[in-house]
């Protein structure tokens, strides 16, 4: 069985060791190493090439935002899960722009952290509900000020791709989208790949947020 290679970056030794102890009990996860600051996280990402990085936001020498930005610039395939005590919107937006694929609070259950690692390894995303609501609410307000028609034309998305994108933003997996639209999973994967190319993003979280921010899709007001 191929294991998910994980790097843990946090300036608190007890946190790193605690996370490592939890992850080492999972048969499908292998902890490659640990980093005590952002600069070391970048260095070890280059040397070890992990699949997923658990990234603390506030660290010495280089913070998690800048470390994430550098890592994603060099290795866009590496998934980054931001771990923080903060729910402030600026941290959230900066991390999303930097390329973080997941965003969890440090008081999350260990099962949530494991689920996030597995989801991101599959090419999905996982964001803590309280954090996701802040992101989507803010970008939805921004989207109301922009016209959807011009946004569609700008990115040349087809009607089918818009439909798939709405379902991606709703957190649906490729399999769930395929079932919903009566398509093959392979066809959905092709649509998602085309959406990423047209929006110039490299993961589902950024695609959904960019779509909402630009007015390509809007949230259900009842949610």
Strand partners, 5: 30
Residue 179 covered by a domain: yes
Q: Could you tell me if 139 and 209 are in contact, meaning their C-beta atoms sit under 8 angstroms apart?
A: yes
Go through the chain and tell me how many residues it has.
223
Residue 148 covered by a domain: no
pLDDT at residue 214, rounded to an integer: 63
pLDDT at residue 194, rounded to an integer: 85
Residue at a domain's end among 140, 167, 182: 140
pLDDT at residue 129, rounded to an integer: 56
pLDDT at residue 99, rounded to an integer: 80
Integer Cα distance of 62 and 21 in angstroms:
25
Q: Which domain holds residue 117?
A: 4-140
Residue 219 covered by a domain: no
Instruction: Give the CATH number for residue 132.
Output: 3.40.50.2300
Residue 169 covered by a domain: yes
Domain count, the chain: 2
Q: Could you tell me if 123 and 194 are in contact, meaning their C-beta atoms sit under 8 angstroms apart?
A: no
Rg of the chain on CA atoms, in Å: 17
Count of Cβ atoms closer than 10 Å to residue 78 Cβ: 20
Residue ranges of the chain with per-residue pLDDT less than 70? 86-92, 125-155, 202, 212-223
Average pLDDT of the chain is 81
At residue 174's C-alpha, the angle toward residues 172 and 178, to 5°, is: 100
Integer Cα distance of 172 and 166 in angstroms:
9
Question: 101-134: b or e for each residue (b if 16 or more CB lie within 10 Å)?
Answer: bbbbbeeeeeebbbbbbbbbbebbbbbbeebbeb
Distance of alpha carbon 143 from its chain centroid, rounded? Answer: 20
Q: Are residues 106 and 197 in the same domain?
A: no
Q: Are residues 61 and 122 in the same domain?
A: yes
Take residue 163 and report the two structure tokens written for it: 């439909």
Q: Could you tell me if 169 and 216 are in contact, meaning their C-beta atoms sit under 8 angstroms apart?
A: no
pLDDT at residue 144, rounded to an integer: 52
Residue 67 covered by a domain: yes
pLDDT at residue 215, rounded to an integer: 63
* pTM for the whole structure: 0.65
């Amino acid at each position: 069985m191929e294991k998910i290679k994980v790097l843990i970056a946090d300036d608190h030794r007890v946190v790193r060791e605690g996370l490592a102890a939890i992850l080492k009990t999972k048969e499908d996860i292998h902890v490659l190493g640990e980093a005590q600051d952002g600069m070391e996280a970048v260095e070890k990402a280059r040397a070890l090439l992990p699949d997923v990085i658990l990234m603390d936001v506030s660290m010495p020498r280089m913070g998690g935002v800048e470390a994430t930005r550098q890592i994603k610039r060099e290795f866009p395939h590496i998934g980054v899960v931001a771990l923080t005590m903060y729910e402030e919107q600026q941290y959230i937006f900066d991390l999303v722009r930097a390329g973080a694929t997941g965003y969890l609070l440090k008081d999350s259950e260990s099962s949530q952290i494991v689920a996030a690692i597995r989801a991101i390894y599959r090419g999905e995303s996982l964001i803590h509900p309280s954090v996701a609501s802040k992101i989507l609410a803010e970008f939805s307000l921004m989207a109301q000020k922009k016209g959807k028609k011009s946004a569609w034309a700008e990115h040349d998305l087809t009607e089918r791709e818009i439909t798939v994108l709405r379902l991606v933003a709703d957190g649906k997996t490729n399999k769930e989208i395929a079932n919903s639209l009566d398509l093959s999973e392979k066809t959905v994967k092709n649509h998602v790949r085309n959406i990423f190319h047209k929006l110039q993003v490299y993961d589902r979280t950024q695609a959904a947020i960019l779509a909402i921010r630009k007015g390509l899709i809007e949230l259900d007001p009842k949610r």
